[in-house]
């Protein structure tokens, strides 16, 4: 089975030049934790994750403290948290994404995508030979493809 069989189309592209606020709103509305981002030529640029966005919400002082596990002693107001969120929302998403996300080609073995998913990259962008985003593979798209294949067998 190759990746083309299991990929889902990306019907709502998100672009590097859009504000992070646009992408955050989309992720929240669609209940997505990881989304592919493209440039205006539809070339894959990277992934943005809610995990990265949440890390950005932490006070900068926490990011500077290595190895600290409990920070419950820090107190801050909702206004301080909102100010950091407003700062994130105003940034270009292209400046925040992970440009080193792994991709697969449509003809690649599904095992390649499964390996990436098992390594905690829960969305695997599918790009063609020109780097254009043609779809994405996730646990859910694989389950859907397997279900569809079972329905077609006699």
Residues in the chain: 154
Whether the pTM exceeds 0.85: the reply is no
Alpha-carbon span 139 to 145, nearest angstrom? 10
pLDDT in tens, 59-79: 776 655 555 565 665 677 889
* pLDDT per residue as tens digits for the range 8-63: 998 889 999 999 999 999 999 999 999 999 999 999 999 999 999 988 888 776 65
Non-local (6+) Cβ contacts of 69 within 8 A are none
Distance CA 22, CA 15 (A): 10
**Do residues 21 and 89 make contact, with C-beta atoms less than 8 angstroms apart?**
yes
Q: What's the pLDDT at 72?
A: 60
Least confident among 55-69, 75-89, 119-133: 55-69
- 129's tokens: 């030979």
**How far is 108 from 75, CA to CA, in rounded Å?**
49
pLDDT band, very low/low/confident/very high, at 97 (cuts 50, 70, 90): very high
121 vs 90, residue with greater confidence: 90
């Amino acid at each position: 089975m190759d990746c083309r069989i299991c990929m889902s189309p990306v019907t709502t592209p998100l672009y590097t030049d859009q504000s992070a606020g646009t992408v955050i709103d989309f992720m929240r509305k669609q209940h997505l934790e990881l989304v592919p981002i493209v440039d205006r030529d539809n070339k894959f640029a990277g992934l943005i994750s809610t995990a990265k966005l949440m890390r950005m919400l932490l006070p900068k002082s926490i990011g500077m403290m290595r190895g600290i596990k409990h920070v419950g002693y820090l107190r801050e107001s909702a206004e301080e948290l909102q100010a950091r969120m407003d700062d994130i929302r105003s940034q270009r998403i292209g400046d925040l994404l992970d440009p080193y996300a792994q991709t697969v080609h449509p003809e690649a073995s599904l095992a390649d995508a499964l390996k990436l998913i098992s390594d905690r990259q829960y969305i695997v962008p599918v790009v063609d030979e020109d780097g254009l985003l043609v779809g994405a593979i996730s646990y859910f798209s694989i389950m859907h493809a397997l279900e569809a294949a079972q329905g077609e067998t006699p």
